[in-house]
């Protein structure tokens, strides 16, 4: 099964956690929509069990790196990969 979670960063991008069943010990695959921004983003995912009146929580911090910034210099003008001038030298 797959659980999707919002990145809570103002985008509609999702995090996806895929696992066999929500019981016992297993491996969870964490994936995400591609991040098109340049600033890394993070969110905490809480795993929780409740048994015998006791709740136990563990937090997984997921950080997704931002998109690489490609800088092209042309006539001393710095241009990002979307061709927006970002500075002069």
Partner 1 sequence: MAYASWVNPNKTTGNGNDTVAWTGSAHTGRTARTTTATFSASGVESKTLTIIQAGATEFVTIDATAAVAKSGGTLTITGTSNSSKLTFSLTGTNGIGLVLPSSYTANSVTTNNGAAITGDPGAVQQYAFSITFTGIDENTSISALTSQLTVTANGSQTATCDITQAAGDAYLTISPTTINLTAAGTAVSVTVTSNTSWSIS
Q: Which residues form the interface with partner 1 (CB under 8 A)?
A: 3, 5, 17-19, 22-36, 45-52, 54, 56-68
54-64/72-74 β-pairing: unpaired
Cβ-based nearer residue to partner 1, 43 or 78: 43
CB of 36 or CB of 73, closer to partner 1:
36
- Least distance from partner 1 to the Cβ atom of residue 54, Å: 6
State the minimum distance, in angstroms, from the CB of residue 68 to partner 1: 7
Q: Are 77 and 69 contacting, i.e. CB atoms less than 8 angstroms apart? A: no
Dihedral sign computed on CA atoms, order 10, 64, 5, 36: positive
């Amino acid at each position: 099964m797959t659980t999707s979670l919002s990145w809570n960063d103002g985008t509609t991008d999702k995090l996806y956690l895929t696992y066999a069943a929500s019981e016992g010990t297993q491996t969870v695959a964490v994936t995400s929509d591609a991040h098109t921004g340049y600033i890394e983003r993070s969110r905490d995912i809480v795993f929780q069990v409740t048994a015998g009146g006791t709740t136990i929580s563990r937090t997984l911090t997921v950080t997704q790196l931002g998109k690489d910034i490609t800088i092209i210099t042309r006539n001393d003008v710095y241009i990002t990969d979307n061709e927006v001038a970002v500075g002069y030298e």
